[in-house]
Structure 1
Protein backbone atom coordinates (compact mmCIF):
# COMPACT_ATOMS: atom_id res chain seq x y z
CA UNK A 1 0.00 0.00 0.00
CA UNK A 2 1.47 3.35 -1.04
CA UNK A 3 1.53 6.20 1.43
CA UNK A 4 -0.07 9.46 0.32
CA UNK A 5 2.31 12.31 1.09
CA UNK A 6 0.73 15.63 2.01
CA UNK A 7 1.91 18.68 0.01
CA UNK A 8 3.19 20.35 3.17
CA UNK A 9 5.41 17.34 3.86
CA UNK A 10 6.65 17.37 0.26
CA UNK A 11 7.53 21.06 0.54
CA UNK A 12 9.24 20.51 3.89
CA UNK A 13 11.49 17.84 2.38
CA UNK A 14 12.19 20.04 -0.64
CA UNK A 15 13.33 22.84 1.65
CA UNK A 16 15.36 20.46 3.79
CA UNK A 17 17.20 19.17 0.70
CA UNK A 18 17.74 22.72 -0.53
CA UNK A 19 19.54 23.51 2.73
CA UNK A 20 21.38 20.22 3.20
CA UNK A 21 22.82 17.85 0.61
CA UNK A 22 21.90 14.34 1.73
CA UNK A 23 22.58 12.68 -1.63
CA UNK A 24 25.86 11.14 -0.44
CA UNK A 25 24.11 8.97 2.17
CA UNK A 26 23.08 5.41 1.25
CA UNK A 27 19.29 5.05 0.76
CA UNK A 28 18.12 3.90 4.20
CA UNK A 29 20.61 6.08 6.05
CA UNK A 30 19.42 9.04 3.99
CA UNK A 31 15.81 8.20 4.80
CA UNK A 32 16.54 8.12 8.54
CA UNK A 33 18.65 11.30 8.50
CA UNK A 34 16.06 13.23 6.52
CA UNK A 35 13.10 12.01 8.58
CA UNK A 36 14.85 12.85 11.88
CA UNK A 37 15.75 16.31 10.60
CA UNK A 38 12.23 16.77 9.28
CA UNK A 39 10.81 15.96 12.73
CA UNK A 40 13.18 18.27 14.60
CA UNK A 41 14.11 21.05 12.13
CA UNK A 42 17.66 20.45 13.39
CA UNK A 43 20.16 20.10 10.54
CA UNK A 44 22.83 19.16 13.08
CA UNK A 45 21.52 15.61 13.20
CA UNK A 46 23.11 14.99 9.78
CA UNK A 47 26.53 15.09 11.39
CA UNK A 48 25.81 13.28 14.62
CA UNK A 49 23.57 10.32 13.80
CA UNK A 50 25.39 6.99 13.85
CA UNK A 51 24.07 3.98 11.94
CA UNK A 52 25.10 1.27 9.49
CA UNK A 53 23.34 0.80 6.15
CA UNK A 54 23.61 -2.99 6.33
CA UNK A 55 22.02 -3.06 9.78
CA UNK A 56 19.27 -0.75 8.54
CA UNK A 57 18.60 -3.05 5.58
CA UNK A 58 18.27 -6.06 7.87
CA UNK A 59 15.99 -4.11 10.22
CA UNK A 60 13.94 -2.79 7.28
CA UNK A 61 13.32 -6.36 6.12
CA UNK A 62 12.42 -7.52 9.65
CA UNK A 63 10.07 -4.60 10.17
CA UNK A 64 8.24 -5.23 6.90
CA UNK A 65 8.08 -8.96 7.72
CA UNK A 66 6.15 -8.10 10.89
CA UNK A 67 8.79 -7.98 13.65
CA UNK A 68 7.36 -6.42 16.82
CA UNK A 69 8.12 -2.78 17.64
CA UNK A 70 8.75 -1.94 21.29
CA UNK A 71 8.77 1.65 22.54
CA UNK A 72 9.83 3.10 25.87
CA UNK A 73 6.97 5.62 26.23
CA UNK A 74 3.54 6.32 24.76
CA UNK A 75 4.84 9.54 23.17
CA UNK A 76 7.10 7.45 20.93
CA UNK A 77 4.18 5.14 20.13
CA UNK A 78 2.02 8.13 19.23
CA UNK A 79 4.58 9.24 16.66
CA UNK A 80 4.85 5.87 14.93
CA UNK A 81 2.32 5.61 12.15
CA UNK A 82 1.12 2.56 10.31
CA UNK A 83 2.31 0.11 12.97
CA UNK A 84 1.15 -1.19 16.33
CA UNK A 85 3.70 -0.98 19.11
CA UNK A 86 4.34 -2.55 22.51
CA UNK A 87 4.74 -0.18 25.46
CA UNK A 88 4.71 -1.66 28.95
CA UNK A 89 5.42 1.51 30.94
CA UNK A 90 1.91 1.62 32.43
CA UNK A 91 2.43 -1.89 33.81
CA UNK A 92 5.87 -1.22 35.25
CA UNK A 93 6.88 -0.27 38.74
CA UNK A 94 10.04 1.19 40.20
CA UNK A 95 12.10 -0.70 42.70
CA UNK A 96 15.51 -0.59 44.33
CA UNK A 97 17.98 0.14 41.56
CA UNK A 98 15.33 -0.13 38.85
CA UNK A 99 13.34 2.70 37.28
CA UNK A 100 9.86 2.21 35.83
CA UNK A 101 11.35 2.65 32.36
CA UNK A 102 13.90 -0.10 32.97
CA UNK A 103 11.22 -2.42 34.38
CA UNK A 104 9.06 -1.71 31.32
CA UNK A 105 11.89 -2.95 29.09
CA UNK A 106 12.00 -6.22 31.04
CA UNK A 107 8.24 -6.63 30.74
CA UNK A 108 8.32 -5.88 27.02
CA UNK A 109 11.09 -8.40 26.44
CA UNK A 110 9.08 -11.05 28.29
CA UNK A 111 6.22 -10.28 25.89
CA UNK A 112 8.03 -10.06 22.54
CA UNK A 113 11.23 -12.08 22.96
CA UNK A 114 14.16 -11.73 20.56
CA UNK A 115 14.12 -10.11 17.13
CA UNK A 116 12.08 -6.97 17.86
CA UNK A 117 12.83 -3.39 16.90
CA UNK A 118 13.30 -1.29 20.05
CA UNK A 119 12.61 2.45 19.86
CA UNK A 120 13.81 4.45 22.86
CA UNK A 121 13.29 8.20 22.73
CA UNK A 122 12.83 9.26 26.31
CA UNK A 123 14.54 7.32 29.07
CA UNK A 124 18.27 6.58 29.19
CA UNK A 125 17.54 3.97 31.87
CA UNK A 126 15.33 2.09 29.40
CA UNK A 127 18.23 1.91 26.95
CA UNK A 128 20.64 0.90 29.71
CA UNK A 129 18.30 -1.91 30.77
CA UNK A 130 17.79 -3.13 27.22
CA UNK A 131 21.56 -3.55 26.93
CA UNK A 132 21.49 -5.99 29.87
CA UNK A 133 18.87 -8.21 28.24
CA UNK A 134 19.58 -10.95 25.73
CA UNK A 135 17.13 -9.31 23.34
CA UNK A 136 18.92 -10.07 20.03
CA UNK A 137 17.18 -7.04 18.51
CA UNK A 138 16.61 -6.50 14.82
CA UNK A 139 17.47 -2.87 15.59
CA UNK A 140 17.74 -0.51 18.54
CA UNK A 141 16.81 3.09 17.85
CA UNK A 142 18.44 4.63 20.88
CA UNK A 143 17.72 8.34 20.92
CA UNK A 144 16.87 9.18 24.54
CA UNK A 145 17.13 12.82 25.48
CA UNK A 146 18.52 14.59 28.51
CA UNK A 147 21.51 15.85 30.43
CA UNK A 148 21.73 12.83 32.74
CA UNK A 149 22.67 9.55 31.13
CA UNK A 150 21.46 10.15 27.59
CA UNK A 151 24.83 10.57 25.86
CA UNK A 152 26.36 7.85 28.02
CA UNK A 153 23.61 5.32 27.30
CA UNK A 154 23.94 5.98 23.56
CA UNK A 155 27.72 5.51 23.76
CA UNK A 156 27.12 2.19 25.54
CA UNK A 157 24.71 1.19 22.77
CA UNK A 158 27.33 1.89 20.11
CA UNK A 159 29.95 -0.03 22.10
CA UNK A 160 27.59 -3.02 22.46
CA UNK A 161 27.84 -3.91 18.79
CA UNK A 162 24.06 -4.25 18.50
CA UNK A 163 22.47 -3.01 15.26
CA UNK A 164 21.52 0.54 16.14
CA UNK A 165 20.64 4.10 15.32
CA UNK A 166 21.99 6.60 17.84
CA UNK A 167 23.55 10.03 18.04
CA UNK A 168 26.53 11.50 19.82
CA UNK A 169 24.96 14.15 22.04
CA UNK A 170 22.29 14.68 24.67
CA UNK A 171 19.77 15.52 21.93
CA UNK A 172 17.03 13.09 21.08
CA UNK A 173 13.46 12.61 22.13
CA UNK A 174 10.22 10.88 21.29
CA UNK A 175 9.66 12.69 18.00
CA UNK A 176 13.08 11.91 16.55
CA UNK A 177 13.03 8.29 17.73
CA UNK A 178 9.61 7.77 16.14
CA UNK A 179 10.80 9.54 12.99
CA UNK A 180 13.74 7.15 12.65
CA UNK A 181 11.40 4.17 12.74
CA UNK A 182 8.93 5.84 10.39
CA UNK A 183 11.75 6.30 7.89
CA UNK A 184 12.09 2.53 7.72
CA UNK A 185 8.32 2.04 7.59
CA UNK A 186 7.90 4.50 4.74
CA UNK A 187 10.89 3.40 2.68
CA UNK A 188 9.86 1.21 -0.26
CA UNK A 189 10.68 -2.47 -0.13
CA UNK A 190 12.19 -2.69 -3.60
CA UNK A 191 12.82 0.80 -4.93
CA UNK A 192 15.57 3.24 -4.04
CA UNK A 193 13.10 6.13 -4.03
CA UNK A 194 12.73 8.36 -1.06
CA UNK A 195 9.94 10.76 -0.27
Structure 2
Protein backbone atom coordinates (compact mmCIF):
# COMPACT_ATOMS: atom_id res chain seq x y z
CA UNK A 1 0.00 0.00 0.00
CA UNK A 2 1.41 3.38 -1.02
CA UNK A 3 1.80 6.06 1.63
CA UNK A 4 -0.33 9.16 1.10
CA UNK A 5 1.92 12.22 1.30
CA UNK A 6 0.33 15.35 2.74
CA UNK A 7 0.61 18.52 0.59
CA UNK A 8 2.57 20.28 3.37
CA UNK A 9 5.16 17.49 3.32
CA UNK A 10 5.33 17.67 -0.48
CA UNK A 11 5.95 21.41 -0.34
CA UNK A 12 8.52 21.00 2.43
CA UNK A 13 10.53 18.54 0.36
CA UNK A 14 10.23 20.80 -2.70
CA UNK A 15 11.75 23.66 -0.71
CA UNK A 16 14.42 21.39 0.75
CA UNK A 17 15.49 20.28 -2.74
CA UNK A 18 15.52 23.88 -3.92
CA UNK A 19 18.08 24.67 -1.22
CA UNK A 20 20.04 21.41 -1.19
CA UNK A 21 21.17 19.42 -4.23
CA UNK A 22 20.85 15.75 -3.31
CA UNK A 23 20.85 14.46 -6.89
CA UNK A 24 24.41 13.11 -6.62
CA UNK A 25 23.49 10.69 -3.82
CA UNK A 26 22.48 7.10 -4.68
CA UNK A 27 18.76 6.38 -4.08
CA UNK A 28 18.65 5.08 -0.50
CA UNK A 29 21.36 7.44 0.72
CA UNK A 30 19.42 10.30 -0.84
CA UNK A 31 16.22 9.13 0.86
CA UNK A 32 17.92 9.02 4.28
CA UNK A 33 19.69 12.35 3.85
CA UNK A 34 16.54 14.13 2.72
CA UNK A 35 14.32 12.70 5.45
CA UNK A 36 16.88 13.48 8.19
CA UNK A 37 17.39 17.02 6.87
CA UNK A 38 13.62 17.43 6.65
CA UNK A 39 13.07 16.19 10.22
CA UNK A 40 15.55 18.67 11.69
CA UNK A 41 15.35 21.52 9.13
CA UNK A 42 19.15 21.31 9.22
CA UNK A 43 20.93 21.26 5.86
CA UNK A 44 24.27 20.45 7.52
CA UNK A 45 23.23 16.82 7.95
CA UNK A 46 23.88 16.36 4.21
CA UNK A 47 27.62 16.54 4.86
CA UNK A 48 27.55 15.20 8.45
CA UNK A 49 25.87 11.83 7.82
CA UNK A 50 27.95 8.72 7.08
CA UNK A 51 26.45 5.65 5.37
CA UNK A 52 27.06 3.14 2.59
CA UNK A 53 24.53 2.51 -0.20
CA UNK A 54 25.30 -1.21 -0.35
CA UNK A 55 24.63 -1.59 3.37
CA UNK A 56 21.42 0.42 3.05
CA UNK A 57 20.26 -1.83 0.20
CA UNK A 58 20.71 -4.95 2.34
CA UNK A 59 19.06 -3.26 5.34
CA UNK A 60 16.13 -2.08 3.19
CA UNK A 61 15.58 -5.67 2.02
CA UNK A 62 15.79 -7.01 5.59
CA UNK A 63 13.38 -4.36 6.88
CA UNK A 64 10.80 -5.11 4.20
CA UNK A 65 11.25 -8.84 4.78
CA UNK A 66 10.13 -8.33 8.39
CA UNK A 67 13.36 -7.95 10.39
CA UNK A 68 12.66 -6.61 13.90
CA UNK A 69 13.18 -2.92 14.63
CA UNK A 70 14.58 -1.94 18.04
CA UNK A 71 14.43 1.62 19.41
CA UNK A 72 16.49 2.83 22.34
CA UNK A 73 13.76 5.11 23.74
CA UNK A 74 10.00 5.56 23.37
CA UNK A 75 10.46 8.88 21.55
CA UNK A 76 12.33 7.07 18.78
CA UNK A 77 9.69 4.34 18.71
CA UNK A 78 6.90 6.95 18.53
CA UNK A 79 8.53 8.54 15.50
CA UNK A 80 8.73 5.30 13.53
CA UNK A 81 5.54 4.98 11.52
CA UNK A 82 4.02 1.97 9.82
CA UNK A 83 6.08 -0.50 11.84
CA UNK A 84 5.98 -2.09 15.28
CA UNK A 85 9.16 -1.62 17.29
CA UNK A 86 10.77 -3.18 20.34
CA UNK A 87 11.73 -0.76 23.12
CA UNK A 88 12.63 -2.24 26.51
CA UNK A 89 13.55 0.96 28.36
CA UNK A 90 10.46 0.65 30.58
CA UNK A 91 11.69 -2.73 31.82
CA UNK A 92 15.32 -1.71 32.27
CA UNK A 93 17.13 -0.89 35.50
CA UNK A 94 20.39 0.91 36.08
CA UNK A 95 23.14 -0.61 38.14
CA UNK A 96 26.86 -0.25 38.85
CA UNK A 97 28.49 0.62 35.53
CA UNK A 98 25.24 0.11 33.61
CA UNK A 99 22.76 2.78 32.54
CA UNK A 100 19.06 2.04 32.02
CA UNK A 101 19.58 2.60 28.29
CA UNK A 102 22.40 0.05 28.16
CA UNK A 103 20.32 -2.48 30.12
CA UNK A 104 17.39 -1.88 27.74
CA UNK A 105 19.66 -2.80 24.81
CA UNK A 106 20.60 -6.06 26.55
CA UNK A 107 16.94 -6.87 27.18
CA UNK A 108 15.99 -6.05 23.59
CA UNK A 109 18.77 -8.24 22.22
CA UNK A 110 17.56 -11.14 24.38
CA UNK A 111 14.13 -10.64 22.81
CA UNK A 112 15.01 -10.14 19.11
CA UNK A 113 18.38 -11.88 18.67
CA UNK A 114 20.57 -11.24 15.62
CA UNK A 115 19.52 -9.58 12.38
CA UNK A 116 17.49 -6.65 13.73
CA UNK A 117 17.61 -3.00 12.74
CA UNK A 118 18.66 -0.92 15.74
CA UNK A 119 17.62 2.74 15.96
CA UNK A 120 19.49 4.69 18.63
CA UNK A 121 18.75 8.39 18.83
CA UNK A 122 19.07 9.31 22.47
CA UNK A 123 21.64 7.53 24.60
CA UNK A 124 25.30 7.08 23.66
CA UNK A 125 25.48 4.35 26.33
CA UNK A 126 22.85 2.36 24.41
CA UNK A 127 25.03 2.47 21.32
CA UNK A 128 28.14 1.59 23.34
CA UNK A 129 26.34 -1.42 24.84
CA UNK A 130 25.14 -2.61 21.44
CA UNK A 131 28.74 -2.65 20.24
CA UNK A 132 29.64 -5.12 23.01
CA UNK A 133 27.00 -7.63 21.88
CA UNK A 134 27.22 -10.16 19.08
CA UNK A 135 24.07 -8.67 17.57
CA UNK A 136 24.89 -9.19 13.86
CA UNK A 137 22.54 -6.30 13.03
CA UNK A 138 20.98 -5.72 9.63
CA UNK A 139 21.69 -2.03 10.33
CA UNK A 140 22.51 0.26 13.22
CA UNK A 141 21.11 3.75 12.94
CA UNK A 142 23.36 5.36 15.52
CA UNK A 143 22.42 9.02 15.89
CA UNK A 144 22.52 9.73 19.64
CA UNK A 145 22.78 13.39 20.61
CA UNK A 146 24.81 15.13 23.29
CA UNK A 147 28.04 16.66 24.46
CA UNK A 148 29.13 13.62 26.49
CA UNK A 149 29.90 10.46 24.55
CA UNK A 150 27.70 11.02 21.50
CA UNK A 151 30.38 11.78 18.90
CA UNK A 152 32.68 9.17 20.46
CA UNK A 153 30.06 6.41 20.41
CA UNK A 154 29.29 7.15 16.76
CA UNK A 155 32.98 7.05 15.89
CA UNK A 156 33.20 3.66 17.63
CA UNK A 157 30.22 2.48 15.58
CA UNK A 158 31.95 3.44 12.32
CA UNK A 159 35.17 1.76 13.46
CA UNK A 160 33.27 -1.44 14.33
CA UNK A 161 32.60 -2.27 10.69
CA UNK A 162 28.90 -2.91 11.39
CA UNK A 163 26.44 -1.72 8.72
CA UNK A 164 25.44 1.71 9.97
CA UNK A 165 24.01 5.17 9.53
CA UNK A 166 25.80 7.64 11.77
CA UNK A 167 27.03 11.21 11.78
CA UNK A 168 30.29 12.82 12.74
CA UNK A 169 29.09 15.66 14.95
CA UNK A 170 27.43 15.72 18.37
CA UNK A 171 24.07 16.39 16.70
CA UNK A 172 21.40 13.74 16.50
CA UNK A 173 18.32 12.84 18.47
CA UNK A 174 15.14 10.83 18.44
CA UNK A 175 13.51 12.66 15.52
CA UNK A 176 16.46 12.26 13.16
CA UNK A 177 17.04 8.62 14.10
CA UNK A 178 13.39 7.79 13.49
CA UNK A 179 13.52 9.76 10.22
CA UNK A 180 16.44 7.67 8.97
CA UNK A 181 14.49 4.46 9.59
CA UNK A 182 11.33 5.92 8.07
CA UNK A 183 13.29 6.77 4.92
CA UNK A 184 13.97 3.06 4.46
CA UNK A 185 10.38 2.17 5.32
CA UNK A 186 8.93 4.64 2.82
CA UNK A 187 11.34 3.83 -0.01
CA UNK A 188 9.64 1.50 -2.49
CA UNK A 189 10.61 -2.13 -2.69
CA UNK A 190 11.87 -3.09 -6.18
CA UNK A 191 9.38 -5.25 -8.03
CA UNK A 192 10.33 -8.78 -9.01
CA UNK A 193 8.86 -7.93 -12.40
CA UNK A 194 11.63 -5.97 -14.20
CA UNK A 195 9.11 -4.09 -16.35
CA UNK A 196 7.55 -2.57 -13.22
CA UNK A 197 10.91 -1.08 -12.19
CA UNK A 198 11.26 0.94 -15.41
User: Fold-level match, TM-score > 0.5?
Assistant: yes
Point out where structure 2 has 5 or more consecutive residues left out of the alignment: none
Deviation of 1:140 (Å): 0.0
Moved over 4 A (4+): 190-195
Cα deviation code 1:147-189 (max 9, x no counterpart) = 0000000000000000000000100000000000000000001
Look up the SS of the partner of 1:193 in the other structure. helix
Look up the SS of the partner of 1:129 in the other structure. helix
Point out where structure 1 has 5 or more consecutive residues left out of the alignment: none
Deviation of 1:192 (Å): 13
Given the superposition, is the C-alpha separation of residues 56 and 191 from structure 1 closer, same or farther in structure 2, using an over 3 Å criterion? farther
Cα deviation code 1:124-149 (max 9, x no counterpart) = 00000000000000000000000000
CA RMSD in angstroms, aligned pairs only: 2.2
CA contact (8 A) 1:36 1:180 kept: yes
Given the superposition, is the C-alpha separation of residues 177 and 193 from structure 1 closer, same or farther in structure 2, using an over 3 Å criterion? farther
Look up the SS of the partner of 2:195 in the other structure. coil
Q: Supply the distance in 2 between the matched residues of 1:123 and 1:192 (Cα, whole angstroms).
A: 44
Give the equivalent residue in structure 1 for 2:174. 174
Give the equivalent residue in structure 1 for 2:194. 191
Give the equivalent residue in structure 2 for 1:114. 114
Deviation of 1:191 (Å): 9.9
Cα deviation code 1:26-80 (max 9, x no counterpart) = 0000000000000000000000100000000000000000000000000000000
Q: Supply the distance in 2 between the matched residues of 1:137 and 1:34 (Cα, whole angstroms).
A: 24
CA contact (8 A) 1:26 1:53 kept: yes
Deviation of 1:193 (Å): 12
Q: Supply the distance in 1 between the matched residues of 2:175 and 2:67 (Cα, whole angstroms).
A: 21
Deviation of 1:94 (Å): 0.3
Given the superposition, is the C-alpha separation of residues 156 and 174 from structure 1 closer, same or farther in structure 2, using an over 3 Å criterion? same
Q: TM-score, normalised by structure 1?
A: 0.97
Q: Supply the distance in 2 between the matched residues of 1:46 and 1:4 (Cα, whole angstroms).
A: 25
Deviation of 1:194 (Å): 13
Look up the SS of the partner of 1:119 in the other structure. strand
Q: Supply the distance in 2 between the matched residues of 1:191 and 1:37 (Cα, whole angstroms).
A: 32
Given the superposition, is the C-alpha separation of residues 16 and 192 from structure 1 closer, same or farther in structure 2, using an over 3 Å criterion? farther
Q: TM-score, normalised by structure 2?
A: 0.96
Look up the SS of the partner of 1:83 in the other structure. coil
Q: Supply the distance in 1 between the matched residues of 2:20 and 2:90 (Cα, whole angstroms).
A: 40
Give the equivalent residue in structure 2 for 1:32. 32
Given the superposition, is the C-alpha separation of residues 191 and 47 from structure 1 closer, same or farther in structure 2, using an over 3 Å criterion? farther
